[in-house]
Amino acid sequence: MAFLSRDGLKQMLLNHVIELKYQRKHPTQSSNTRRMFCTGAYPNFQNSQFLASIGAQSALGFRYPKSASPYPPKGYNPDEKNLVVTYDIFMQDYRNIYVYRCNSIRAFPVDTKNNIENFWEYFNNNIANMSQQDKIEFLKK
């Protein structure tokens, strides 16, 4: 499987919810990789029809950044550090993805009403009822 480029990942995040697996920039004792479901890419959160939906705001806890530019935090540019800022669906917060050895496991287009409904069906059947422990195990796989 080919790894995603930073620009390719940012482009994909604009209109997809993606299940990713990537190498951690700072590995933990339990894993040097992390999985996640994410969508949206800084600075284009406002351009996402999916993130603007009531469903994303209620079920996923999505909120637009309080300032027009939540990043770069502490004065760094995510692009210069090979990072992509996205919205982490499990953690319900913004997260930096280190785009080194980053793969898309599956991607759900969320660019049309029908595609968004298909994602919500998957979400309700497979994600919504996961326990906290299930989510932790998912992140480690």
The whole-angstrom separation of Cα 98 and Cα 61 is 23
How many Cα neighbours within 13 Å face the side chain of 35?
12
pLDDT at position 120 is 93
How many Cα neighbours within 13 Å face the side chain of 90?
21
Q: What is the pTM of this model?
A: 0.85
For residue range 78-102, list pLDDT tens digits in order: 888 888 888 899 888 888 888 888 9
Quick count: other Cβ atoms within 10 Å of Cβ 11? 14
The region, left, alpha or beta by phi > 0 then psi within -120 to 50, assigned to residue 45 is alpha
The whole-angstrom separation of Cα 92 and Cα 58 is 11
pLDDT at 3 over 70: yes
